[in-house]
Structure 1
Amino acid sequence: MASSAQTPAARLLWIDPFFQATRPTTQSLFQALPFVLEKGWPLELWCLDHDPLDARVKVVKLPHARVLRLLEPLWFWFMAWCRLSWLRLCGQSWAVVHTSGPDMAGADVMSLHFHNRTWLRLQWWEQADSFKDRLRILHTLIGVVQETFAFKSGRWRVILPVSEGLANRIRPQLAVGKRIHVLPNALDESRFHSGVRERHRESMRKEMQAQSQDYVFIFVSTGHYHRKGLMPALLTVQACRDMAREELGLNLRFWVVGAGERAQSALIPQLEQTIADWREWVQLVPPTQAVERYYAAADAFLFPSRYETFSLVALEAAACGLPLLVTAYDGHEMYLEDGINGFLMPWDREGMKERVTHFLRSGRHLLRPGPSECIHASGYAECLDRVYGDVIRERIA
């Protein structure tokens, strides 16, 4: 049934360059799409590319500019802004315009998955040796400008940050009258739940050649390994291997799931230089459409990221029954209960080692599985429906 605030002419416009089922900024919107359509919202999507969609969605593809590479999304947002401005001048309108980031002036609702100002402060102290590294910093600087404009603009009515931590970061930057509604990433309950361990654990451990004495830490990411703390995680496990073997009879192993060919070509030389015996206990797994099977086969989720705004992979791991060992990045408060379903770790190397040692000696037997809270696709759509209805009612009033 359509929202009570809605009329047949209450069209939605979603704007995102790459509307895909696995992309972090659109994954939840993609999952919620069928439920949004069921509520009767006519939906139009502007993008560069998209995964297969319901035929009821009107799709407008804007022209690519692949020569710009990392900066192609900026081209898209500029073209989308020009198109939106022109069509409005020509008399076309949408009840709600919803974008997936702070890149689009003239929208009503913004989903916020990142905070460029925070990330720039972290990048500032890193060495930018390559042209690609410098280009990423330039991209972040542009993002800071876009964020500043969006947060201070009077146009935006509602901002949807994915976590309480991110919401707290942006509140001091907002113009008077803007509203924040925290809307965490949705969990696909059909894939990530406690039953996957019983269903897939034995077969996947056999496939990965994990023995009964092997205790497996899993790290899931397709890139940004420096920011996500991959090397500190590996070095922490390496530092605990002797203790685990001698005191507990455990052979610690580490799976990096999501490491594609390009990622592996960069990681392997670093591993060869840093960890001599890494091939004996580290496995690099290419990107997979069945990551839940690897969660089922692993024993703990280790993710000492320096900066996140939510980390959907941590929520997925918790839902599959894995204890979480994560740092205090934004969003951890949405699914981690320290000492209940995991442990909060410090960022320093020695502190990480002490926490993982404690976890292995006693904590792993005390934790209960599951996230502290989560939202599913239908609930995500319910929140969007309420937000869209509020925007329309305010405009009428």
Structure 2
Amino acid sequence: MAGSKQQTGRRVLWLDPFFQGGRPTTQSIHRALPWMLDRGWQIEIWCLDHDEVDARAEVKRLPRARWLRLLEPLWFWFLAWLRLTWLRLWAGKWDIVHTTGPDIPGADVMSLHFHNRTWIGLQWREQAWSIKEKLRILHTMIGLLQETVVLHSKRWRVILPVSEGLAERIRPQLASEKRIQVLPNLLDETRFHTGVRQQYREAARSQVHAAETDFIFIFVSTGHYQRKGLWAALRSLDVCRTMARNECGLRLRFLIVGAGEKAQASLIPQLNQTAPDWRDWVSLMPPTPEVERWYAAADAFLFPSRYETFSLVALEASACGLPLLVTPYDGHEMYLKEGVNGCLLPWEPEGMATRIGEFLKTDRHYLKPGPDRCIHASGYAEVLDQTYLEIIRERSL
């Protein structure tokens, strides 16, 4: 696993409130950690909680404030900033400080997974004013303030947005001294590959009682169902069911993966209202550490999200051999090639149903599934390695 260019003694500080392999902001950097250590980097991690990590890394847990609930990450960023500022008064301990969000003044590298300016507009238009949604809007507004300050500041050296689309959104906000380098989320090739269909398909389809003529669309998410387009997907498929049966000889099925007990309790009333016969063709599946099994059971990935910056689940589905039917959110350009491995859907419901119908009648027969491009753990670590070394070289000039 060791890289060819070892850089012994380089010290890096990584900052994220929850350094966990399943979180979108840390999944890639978590998997790249062993590769970075093999390249000779000495890595220290500050967080509130974490999954098991390589013993060669030093992990420091900062005090938690669970009572803050959705706002707890703000507590972490405040503590981390105080601690970082204090330690830097006495000695420059790290060669590189790398944070996973626009929250720490004084960091050298920022991985950017979100654009609060775009998201706050969508939240406002959705007008979901429950207490939980109000807290989320407050969190986004705080994030928007931090984002604006950071992107206009001259302190940051390198920003690593996860997609070309996100990079285009932030370029007009940047101080001229900053450098942007797109670094997409990595793909775990040990789990997500075309072989999973042969390995799991028969058993997974049997579990949901799928017949040979059943055509299964899969939707994967653990929350934010309105933003991610679940109800648009449901309505569009409902419109297409009769056509699929009469013209294609297919019985449409919809597999919703990732909804836990609480999520299902809130989804079912709206399912009853939106598609009263949903139990005949929709299956709700709980979160699973082996989502690739359900990709193997499906025939296409449907994800008409209103806002994403990358959508790792779409990349995973494509790697497992599923054609993609997605909307033009930020990041789709990183793995979708229209008419080759999938189809772009309009956000407008009638147009979405029409495009899904065209896919069922024609496109599904000639599409060649597979991601347009992707990066694995070693490649992700190589980009980080070169980015860090370039910053260090610039300082020495």
TM-score when scaled to structure 1? 0.98
2:224 matched residue in structure 1: 224
Query: One-letter code of the match for 1:273?
Result: Q
Aligned residue for 2:150, secondary structure, equals: helix
Aligned residue for 1:42, secondary structure, equals: strand
1:143 matched residue in structure 2: 143
Q: Does the 8 Å CA contact 1:3/1:385 hold for their aligned counterparts?
A: no
Distance 1:324 1:163 in 2: 17
Distance 2:3 2:110 in 1: 22
Q: Does the 8 Å CA contact 1:229/1:306 hold for their aligned counterparts?
A: yes
Residues 289, 5 of structure 1: alpha-carbon distance in 2 compared, 3 angstrom cutoff? closer
Distance 1:106 1:200 in 2: 48
- Residues 41-72 of structure 1: CA distance to partner in whole angstroms, max 9, x if unpaired? 00000000000011111010000001111000
Structure 1 residue 7, shift from structure 2 partner: 4.9
2:183 matched residue in structure 1: 183
Aligned residue for 1:210, secondary structure, equals: coil
Q: Does the 8 Å CA contact 1:339/1:367 hold for their aligned counterparts?
A: yes
Residues 361, 4 of structure 1: alpha-carbon distance in 2 compared, 3 angstrom cutoff? closer
Query: One-letter code of the match for 1:90?
Result: W
Query: One-letter code of the match for 2:28?
Result: S
Q: Does 1:129 align with 2:148?
A: no
Distance 1:6 1:152 in 2: 32
Residues 41, 3 of structure 1: alpha-carbon distance in 2 compared, 3 angstrom cutoff? farther
How many pairs align?
A: 396
- Residues 8-31 of structure 1: CA distance to partner in whole angstroms, max 9, x if unpaired? 2x2010000001011000000011
Structure 1 residue 396, shift from structure 2 partner: 1.2
Distance 1:5 1:198 in 2: 40
1:354 matched residue in structure 2: 354
Structure 1 residue 361, shift from structure 2 partner: 0.5
Distance 1:18 1:331 in 2: 23
Where does 1:20-39 land on structure 2 (aligned, <5 Å)? 20-39=20-39
Structure 1 residue 4, shift from structure 2 partner: 5.8
Structure 1 residue 3, shift from structure 2 partner: 8.0
Structure 1 residue 126, shift from structure 2 partner: 1.9
- Residues 279-308 of structure 1: CA distance to partner in whole angstroms, max 9, x if unpaired? 111111000010001001100000000000
Q: Pairwise CA RMSD of aligned residues?
A: 1.1
1:153 matched residue in structure 2: 153
Structure 1 residue 124, shift from structure 2 partner: 1.6
Q: Does the 8 Å CA contact 2:7/2:39 hold for their aligned counterparts?
A: no
Aligned residue for 1:119, secondary structure, equals: helix
1:174 matched residue in structure 2: 174
Query: One-letter code of the match for 1:353?
Result: A
322-331 or 241-250, larger mean C-alpha shift: 241-250
Q: Does the 8 Å CA contact 1:214/1:253 hold for their aligned counterparts?
A: yes
Distance 1:294 1:220 in 2: 9
2:104 matched residue in structure 1: 104
Q: Does the 8 Å CA contact 2:21/2:27 hold for their aligned counterparts?
A: yes
338-347 or 85-94, larger mean C-alpha shift: 85-94
Query: One-letter code of the match for 2:388?
Result: Y
Q: Does the 8 Å CA contact 1:3/1:389 hold for their aligned counterparts?
A: no
Structure 1 residue 128, shift from structure 2 partner: 3.1
1:287 matched residue in structure 2: 287
Distance 1:220 1:5 in 2: 39
Where does 1:307-326 land on structure 2 (aligned, <5 Å)? 307-326=307-326
Distance 1:116 1:272 in 2: 33
Distance 1:213 1:78 in 2: 55
Structure 1 residue 209, shift from structure 2 partner: 1.1
Distance 2:235 2:128 in 1: 23
Distance 2:35 2:8 in 1: 17
Aligned residue for 2:226, secondary structure, equals: helix
Structure 1 residue 92, shift from structure 2 partner: 4.1
Distance 1:318 1:129 in 2: 35
Query: One-letter code of the match for 2:214?
Result: D
Q: Does the 8 Å CA contact 1:2/1:41 hold for their aligned counterparts?
A: no
Where does 1:194-273 land on structure 2 (aligned, <5 Å)? 194-273=194-273
Aligned residue for 2:313, secondary structure, equals: helix
Q: Does the 8 Å CA contact 2:227/2:305 hold for their aligned counterparts?
A: yes
Where does 1:335-374 land on structure 2 (aligned, <5 Å)? 335-374=335-374
1:330 matched residue in structure 2: 330
Structure 1 residue 129, shift from structure 2 partner: 2.4
Q: Does 1:17 align with 2:12?
A: no
Q: What percentage of residue pairs aligned between the two structures are identical?
A: 67
- Residues 63-116 of structure 1: CA distance to partner in whole angstroms, max 9, x if unpaired? 000111100000000000000000111214200000001011110000000000
1:72 matched residue in structure 2: 72
Distance 1:170 1:286 in 2: 35
Structure 1 residue 152, shift from structure 2 partner: 1.2
Distance 2:206 2:156 in 1: 52
Distance 1:30 1:104 in 2: 19
Residues 82, 3 of structure 1: alpha-carbon distance in 2 compared, 3 angstrom cutoff? farther
Aligned residue for 1:11, secondary structure, equals: strand
Aligned residue for 1:317, secondary structure, equals: helix
